[in-house]
Homo-oligomer: A and B are copies of this chain.
Amino acid sequence: MCGILGVYSPLGNNVSQKVMLGLFAEQHRGQESCGMAITDGTKIDLYKGMGLVKDVFTPKVLSQLKGNISIGHVRYPTRGSSTNKNSQPHVVETLFGPTYALASNGDIVNYTHIRKELEAKGVFFKSTNDGELILRYIVYLVEVEKKSIPQAIKEMMKNLKGAFSTVLLTRDTLYLFRDPFGYRPMSYGKLADGDFAVASETCALDILNPIYKTEVQPGQIIIIDKQGLKKSDENFSHKNHQHCVFEHIYFSRPDSTVFEKDVYEIRKKIGRELAGCDKDLNVDMVVPVPDSSNVIALGYAQAKKIPFEFGLIRNHYVGRTFIKPTQSVRDESVSQKFNILPDFFKGKRVVLIDDSIVRGTTLKKLIKIIKHAGADEVHVRIGSPQVKFSCYYGIDTPTKNELIANTKSLEEINNYIGSDTIKHLNLKKLKKVVEDDKNYCFACFNGDYLVK
């Protein structure tokens, strides 16, 4: 997962501060590194750094980034190398200077094939990153085959398979485009001061004071230049889409509107659906694994009319480092990340809510300390179906055999993590929640990979 951002100021405002603020609002989509490319029409400056937006884009750095068109990116720590090389935006330079910059969120399924094709033609790669592939593919068509940029983007859309929500900047134009299945979110809007902005999530537009905000459609190309904002006539959208349902369940911020639905509402509904399956369960309280399950738990509590409680306290200073976590670090960090209330669980029957189960190790530890604190019962409720398949569209899921749902039955999982009962929201109910069974990707639950 990653986050993208772009701003175009027709009035020539310096937009670096806006890009920083937008990236800051998308920090939850990637804490490993961040970067910004900006142009004032004569050159393109690039600044990237490992770490958080506020630490990389200090006031001093920002004061040196000037221009009216800019794109930015926050990067998630993936299994690949955590180096500045793989961080975005990518820039292609020519005799005429830095000429193209691009930032993308997603994953190209036929990466290896396309890269080999380009390398055979002499194209040079500096990273192993999908965004660079998209960029060099387009630039090859423009520079060597002499196509226009919009033509090149269209051809890219036909040949590169996978997920991409992408911004491309030249010295005078900002291009936005999104893969034809619309895997990852992407919205744009016009700001109160006349600037245009685009972001992965609407919460990043909100911080910029938008007068309207709307989705970049799957397969759509939008061009913003001094003549204003122009949508491509053609639309490469597939009839049905493949929105990542986990954006609703986990990735996106609850204050974002994603795939035209409010994330907060979806999560409340997930909670309500879970509660609907527990009509006969007598419990004293609902406790979320904070913060990602807070809203699901709230929905459950309201539906079941039992108290919602912050029984687990999360240390928000966890996970600010860009050093890549090993398993041993992950294990240790459960107790660093969560603590329980003292004298709170004694004799209590608890419903513990989480959004999903990957390895099960965190839940196992949490249940242990809750029971150790005297809880009589701990019932685990999960806001999604069992995750059994890896994601090829931008999420760094572990390999299949690291997923507990592939190696243990649900009953074995119940025993393993030490819960009294365990239930998942099933796929049918999830489809009911999103009110759509045609436009979402559920591949991590059912293995139906539409794009390969």
Residues of chain A whose beta carbon lies under 8 Å from any beta carbon of chain B = 21, 24-25, 27-28, 31, 43, 52-55, 58-59, 92-98, 122-124, 126, 136, 139-140, 143-144, 202-203, 206-207, 253-257, 262, 264, 291, 294-295, 298, 302, 307-310, 313, 315-318, 320-321, 323, 335-336, 339-344
Contact of A144 among B95, B254, B264, B310 (CB under 8 A): B95
Shortest CB distance A312–B (Å): 8
Q: Are A309 and B313 in contact (CB under 8 A)?
A: no
Q: Which residues of B contact A92 (CB under 8 A)?
A: 95
* Contact, CB under 8 Å: B203 / A140: no
Please indicate which of the listed interface residues A55, A203, A298, A342 has the most CB atoms of chain B within 10 Å of its own CB.
Answer: A342
How many chain copies?
4
| Residues from chain B with Cβ under 8 Å of A123 in the complex | 95-96
User: Are B298 and A309 in touch, CB under 8 angstroms?
Assistant: yes
Question: In the bound complex, how far is the Cα of B295 from the Cα of A93, in angstroms?
Answer: 50
Chain B neighbourhood of A308, CB < 8 A: 298, 308
Name the distance in Å between A339's Cβ and chain B's nearest Cβ: 5
A98 → B minimal CB distance (Å): 8
Q: How far is the CB of A229 from chain B (nearest CB, A)?
A: 22
**Which of A262, A294, A341: most chain B Cβ within 10 A?**
A341
Contacts of A291 in B (CB 8 A): 316
Quick one: closest B residue to A315, CB to CB?
A: B25
| Cα distance, A112 to B295, chains bound together (Å) | 51
Decide if B302 touches A339 in the complex (CB within 8 Å).
no
A55 B321 Cβ-Cβ under 8 A: yes
